[in-house]
């Protein structure tokens, strides 16, 4: 597998008041798309651009503002995929859906922007910011979410190219990496706009390029979240999600246990409200998003009453690989897990694992069921296939690094209106973000590559004139009531295997 790929080259209880850190919404104009008696909206481009004439010529059209009807609060279930996004992507991209996907993509991007991946930093492998200042430090102070806990995973697994470790003596843990966060909408205006209280899980992906895919062995193993042993997932993803390290404070509970216990706690706390569970991630983080969504549904964590009512579980995935076999895909569909995958057709990561036998192979079900073929993989959910060569802003080169970049995906999504339709930016989203961590914008835009950096790499000058890296507050690894909520998951949802998977 590796050679083939080389060739392809706690936090406190939920807040009772509005948080300090509250992505703002630029429009509340309604959307007619969901009305069965009204036609789909016509997208109109109006002049909101400050581009030079040369740039406008390259763009082909100026940025657009869209007129639409139904408020998001009335149609949020459709946006979350209750009807598998039927009619919302083709023939025309629904503006509400586009805006929501980009919003969740930016919340996934926050995992990259906040992660310390500098091997010369004594804090390498951690989050740079305290949860209470997270969105403010990232210049997205109006996200509306409050982070309720950070997620960690042990680096002692068979994905060495994914984890970041310091070249210096370990300060916080030699075994752990920060993997993302769980958050919940607490701002009243945002709750009103969304039409529900949203529980968000954001997984960190690969900070640099895709070296980690060389570690994938194409080995499928039973997920063990179900009694059905024919449901299988890629072993590296499973290990990252379930393994723990007793000698490490942060990894004494697996990433799986951290997620399930926190979601259980939040569902208990907001049990009398309309709730959604949304999971997002890019690259390997997208694989974790699909895996954790399946897990939440498989252990019936989202079943909130005796009548079987389910809290919707939705994944907005970016540049994600395949996670499991065809049985895994079919089980996700049975459980009602909704997955919308955003990919760049020139990106190699969504093609693995399962290069030979996958959902595009007409005899996949036969060879998986009858022949027990061990390298059979299938993507879950619906796909939005983007093409960076259609954007007039970016280089048309086949740069595999940039083709995989999350900000590039968000830029392409902003200009996408349906297959065969002209690329036209739907918002004022800054094209400079494309070059935040890559070199993909055309040179005439004058945006330097890899421009986002911490000022002075975080060094500050003290009163004595010396430059030092300030100490960061040591966070509580896990909330004291975590074991209690884990036990509730076991008791109430009859998990077929103890959560202490190793």
pLDDT value at 48 more than 60: no
SS3 label, residue 334? helix
- Residues 248-275: tens digit of each pLDDT: 999 999 999 999 999 999 999 999 999 9
Q: Is-cis flag, bond preceding 57, omega within 30? A: no
pLDDT in tens, 323-359: 999 999 999 999 999 999 999 999 999 999 998 889 9
Find the DSSP H helices in 152-283: 188-194, 235-242, 255-269
Full residue range of the structural domain in which residue 400 is found = 29-70+389-445
Same domain for 308 and 192: yes
Compute CA distances 229 → 189, 328, 363, 437, whole Å.
45, 10, 21, 41
Tell me, yes or no, whether 301 and 400 share the same domain.
no
- DSSP E strands in 412-495: the ranges are 460-461, 467-468
Q: Tell me whether residue 34 is in a domain.
A: yes
- The yes-or-no verdict on residue 33 having pLDDT over 80 is no
Does any domain span residue 357? no
Given a cut of 90, whether residue 374 has pLDDT beyond it is no
Same domain for 298 and 413, yes or no, is no
Based on the domain organization, do 61 and 210 belong to the same domain?
no
Please give the full DSSP string across 265-329, using - where no structure is assigned: HHHHHTTTS-EEEEEEEETHHHHHHHHHHHHHHHTTTTB-STT--B--EEEEEESPPP-B-HHHH
Residues 214 and 252 in one domain: yes
Q: Is the predicted pLDDT of residue 59 greater than 70, yes or no?
A: no
| 378 pLDDT higher than 60 | yes
Cα–chain center distance at 331: 21
Q: Please say whether the beta carbons of 388 and 394 come within 8 A.
A: yes
Give the Cα separation of 223 and 386 in Å (integer): 31
Convert the pLDDT of each residue in 83-99 to its tens digit: 999 999 999 999 999 99
Domain identity same for 12 and 40: no
pLDDT in tens, 269-278: 999 999 999 9
Tell me, yes or no, whether 313 and 423 share the same domain: no
Residues 18 and 34 in one domain: no
Question: Is residue 210 pLDDT above 90, yes or no?
Answer: no
- If asked whether residues 434 and 486 sit together in one domain, one would say no
What does the pLDDT read at residue 23? 37
Q: What angle do CA 314, 319, 324 make, to 5 degrees?
A: 65
The verdict on 173 and 235 lying in the same domain is: yes
Query: Distance between CA atoms of 33 and 100, rounded to whole angstroms?
Result: 15
Please indicate, yes or no, if residue 260 is contained in any of the structural domains: yes
Identify whether 376 is part of a domain.
Answer: no
Are residue 255 and residue 123 in the same domain, yes or no? yes
* Confidence check: pLDDT of 5 > 80: no
- Check whether residue 181 and residue 287 sit in a common domain: yes
Q: Is residue 350 part of a domain?
A: no
| Domain CATH code at residue 295 | 3.40.50.1820
Identify whether 351 is part of a domain: no
Q: Which two tokens stand for residue 452?
A: 């986002």
Number of domain units in the chain: 2
Task: Give the mean pLDDT of the chain.
Answer: 85
pLDDT of residue 473: 85
Catalytic residues: 283, 347, 404
- Whether cis (ω within 30° of 0) applies to the bond prior to 91 is yes
Residue 369 lies in a domain: no
Q: Is residue 282 part of a domain?
A: yes
Of 11-25, 223-237, 467-481, where does mean pLDDT reach its minimum? Answer: 11-25
Strand ranges (E), 300-447: 313-318, 338-344, 382-386
């Amino acid at each position: 597998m590796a050679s083939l790929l080389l060739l392809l080259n706690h936090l406190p209880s939920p807040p009772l008041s509005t948080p300090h850190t509250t992505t703002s919404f630029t429009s509340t104009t309604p959307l007619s798309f969901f009305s069965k008696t009204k036609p789909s909206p016509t997208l109109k481009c109006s002049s909101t651009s400050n581009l030079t004439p040369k740039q406008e010529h390259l763009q082909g059209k100026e940025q657009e503002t869209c007129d639409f009807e139904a408020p998001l609060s009335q149609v949020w279930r459709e946006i979350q995929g209750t009807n598998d996004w039927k009619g919302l992507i083709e023939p025309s991209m629904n503006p509400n859906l586009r805006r929501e996907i980009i919003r969740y993509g930016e919340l996934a991007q926050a995992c990259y922007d906040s992660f310390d991946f500098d091997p010369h930093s004594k804090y390498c492998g951690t989050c740079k910011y305290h949860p209470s200042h997270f969105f403010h430090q990232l210049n997205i102070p109006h996200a509306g979410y409050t982070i309720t806990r950070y997620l960690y995973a042990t680096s002692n697994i068979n994905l060495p190219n994914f984890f970041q470790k310091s070249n210096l003596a370990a300060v916080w843990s030699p075994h752990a990496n920060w993997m993302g966060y769980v958050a919940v909408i607490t701002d009243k205006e945002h709750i009103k706009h969304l039409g529900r209280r949203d529980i968000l899980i954001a997984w960190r992906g690969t900070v640099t390029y895709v070296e980690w895919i060389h570690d994938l062995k194409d080995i499928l193993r039973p997920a063990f979240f179900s009694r059905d042993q024919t449901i299988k997932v890629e072993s590296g993803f499973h290990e990252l999600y379930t393994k723990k390290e007793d000698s490490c404070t942060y990894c004494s509970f697996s990433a799986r246990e951290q997620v399930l216990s926190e979601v259980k706690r939040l569902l208990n706390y907001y049990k009398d409200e309309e709730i959604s569970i949304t999971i997002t991630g890019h690259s390997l983080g997208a694989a974790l998003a699909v895996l954790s969504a399946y897990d939440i549904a498989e252990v019936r964590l989202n079943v909130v009453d005796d009548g079987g009512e389910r809290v919707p579980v939705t994944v907005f995935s970016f540049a994600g690989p395949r996670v499991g076999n065809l049985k895994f895909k079919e089980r996700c569909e049975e459980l009602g897990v909704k997955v919308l995958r955003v990919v760049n057709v020139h990106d190699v990561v969504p093609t693995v694992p399962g290069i030979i036998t996958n959902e595009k192979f007409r005899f996949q079900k036969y060879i998986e069921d009858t022949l027990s073929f061990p390298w059979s993989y299938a993507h879950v959910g619906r796909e939005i296939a983007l093409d960076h060569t259609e954007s007039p802003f970016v280089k048309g080169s086949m740069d595999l690094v940039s083709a995989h970049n999350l900000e590039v995906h968000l830029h392409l999504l902003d200009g996408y209106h349906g297959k065969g339709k002209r690329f036209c930016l739907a918002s004022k989203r800054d094209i400079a973000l494309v070059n935040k961590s890559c070199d993909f914008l055309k040179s005439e835009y004058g945006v330097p590559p890899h421009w986002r950096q911490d000022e002075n790499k975080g060094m500050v000058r003290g009163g004595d004139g010396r430059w030092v890296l300030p100490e960061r507050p040591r966070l509580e690894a896990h909330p004291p009531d975590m074991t209690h909520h884990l036990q509730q998951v076991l008791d109430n949802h009859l998990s077929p295997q103890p959560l202490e998977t190793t």
